[in-house]
Amino acid sequence: MSVEKLFVEPGARLSARAWTRGLAPSGRVALVSEAGAWRRFGPGVEKSLKRAGLKVHRHLLPSGEAAKSWDSVSDLLTSMLAAGLGRDCAIVALGGGSVTDAAGFAAAIYQRGIPWVSVPTTLLGQLDSGLGGKTGINLAGGKNLAGCFHRPNAVVCDPEVLASLPPRERVSGFGEALKYGLVFEPGIWALITGNWDALMAGDPALTGKVVERCAAWKRRIVDSDERETKGPRELLNFGHTLGHALESASGLGALRHGEAVIWGMRAALRLSHRCSGLKASFAAEADRFLATLPVPLPRRVDPRRLLELARRDKKARGGRARFVLLRAPGRPVTAFVSDREILRAVREIL
């Protein structure tokens, strides 16, 4: 089992010598990004890689979910081949979750696998999606339906890159972070809900605390269940069954991932009360906070379409939808949920 090294400190993205040591025997890397992340951070990271003695092949993916397609990954692999990059090279992925997902997938399949480094530039990427080695692309049937488990050699979380995040991206990131507070550590829920205004204002110290605590949980869970075969890693999917369904049904990109997870958690809290014994008082209290968050309503979708997508979720078995639910804060459980209960929860939140 490979365990990625984690670098969390201001300016970490510009210290490539530390996180590329022994990475690419050929001394060649593909620096993979997208236009927005490249414009803000790409030149500095490229200079740092060159100062570390590496030759850099630059490749830009499409922005957003468009990066996670067969065509965009094929273009990346073709460009690497044309540049003469072999099995002794590596990929450095600079960007949000779509970039790290697609570039990590490319690293997993290029010449049967090469090393890579994740340099997430979004809050969501730093505290969750940029860690753990789940890589992949979307298919017409839904999100993340093709991919590999391929952990990065290093994850570089630089708090400086979060300073200019727009409010919507902060909400999306902290939406995912709230999952950790419900499923694993209630203190994270208290930290976020008790300091919401300061976190939305970009308080660097508080943001750093949230990133470190969530990243620590992500690594702990992944270390115990790297390929999601033993159970613990599945628990990271609280709020994701219907969250992913909403993303797909609304049109990929219409909702940010963390926004969709917030909607999914609101449904999961209701299902947890009715199907796994979560106290009504806590379910209602948590839902009241989530309902105050400035998350857009998804485009009008048919609840039965969401049910169909939930049945295709990777946790489903035999066409039956399975959810991560709560018995109590910090006490998650997986359970099959009836179509009737799923439809009831969906109709209550939308």
Is 19 in the same domain as 135?
yes
Q: Is the pLDDT of residue 323 over 50?
A: yes
pLDDT in tens, 139-158: 988 788 899 999 999 999 99
Return the CATH number at 308. Answer: 1.20.1090.10
> Alpha helices of the chain — where are they, by DSSP H?
16-19, 35-51, 70-82, 97-109, 123-124, 167-183, 186-194, 196-200, 204-224, 240-250, 257-276, 280-292, 303-312, 339-349
CB atoms within 10 A of CB 347: 11
Q: Is the pLDDT of residue 253 over 80?
A: no
Is 154 in the same domain as 176?
no
Q: Check residues 310 and 299 and name the one with the higher pLDDT.
A: 310
Q: Which pLDDT does position 49 carry in this prediction?
A: 98
Is 250 in the same domain as 175?
yes
Q: Which of 112, 147, 162 is the endpoint of a domain?
A: 162
pLDDT in tens, 257-283: 999 999 999 999 999 999 999 999 999
Range of the domain at 209: 167-349
Residues in the chain: 350
Q: Which residue type, as a one-letter code, is found at position 192?
A: I
Q: Is the pLDDT of residue 1 over 50?
A: no
At how many degrees (to 10) do helices 70-82 and 97-109 cross? 60
Is 131 in the same domain as 277?
no
Is 157 in the same domain as 185?
no
| Span of 3-12, 51-60, 187-196 with lowest mean pLDDT | 3-12
Percent of residues, the chain, with pLDDT higher than 70: 99
| Span of 58-62, 114-118, 197-201, 249-253 with lowest mean pLDDT | 249-253
Q: Which of 112, 128, 162 is the endpoint of a domain?
A: 162
Q: Check residues 156 and 208 and name the one with the higher pLDDT.
A: 156
Return the CATH number at 106. Answer: 3.40.50.1970
Helix (H, G, I), strand (E, B) or coil at 129: helix
Residue 89, by phi and psi: left (phi above 0), alpha (psi -120 to 50) or beta? beta
Q: Which pLDDT does position 254 carry in this prediction?
A: 85
Confidence tier at 248 by pLDDT (50, 70, 90): confident
The Cα 178–Cα 25 span in angstroms is 40
Average predicted confidence (pLDDT) for the chain: 93
* Residue among 58, 141, 145 at smallest CA distance from 101: 145
Q: Is the pLDDT of residue 204 over 80?
A: yes
Q: Which of 124, 140, 162 is the endpoint of a domain?
A: 162
For residues 28-56, average pLDDT? 98
Is 116 in the same domain as 144?
yes
Is 156 in the same domain as 195?
no
Q: Which pLDDT does position 3 carry in this prediction?
A: 66
Is 172 in the same domain as 158?
no
Count of structural domains, the chain: 2
* Residue among 124, 171, 342 at smallest CA distance from 246: 342
Is 9 in the same domain as 123?
yes
Is 158 in the same domain as 172?
no
DSSP string computed for 131-150: SS-EEEEEETTEEEEEEEE-
Is 157 in the same domain as 176?
no
Q: Which pLDDT does position 316 carry in this prediction?
A: 79
* Residue among 314, 349, 350 at smallest CA distance from 334: 314
For residues 279-291, average pLDDT? 98
Is 174 in the same domain as 192?
yes
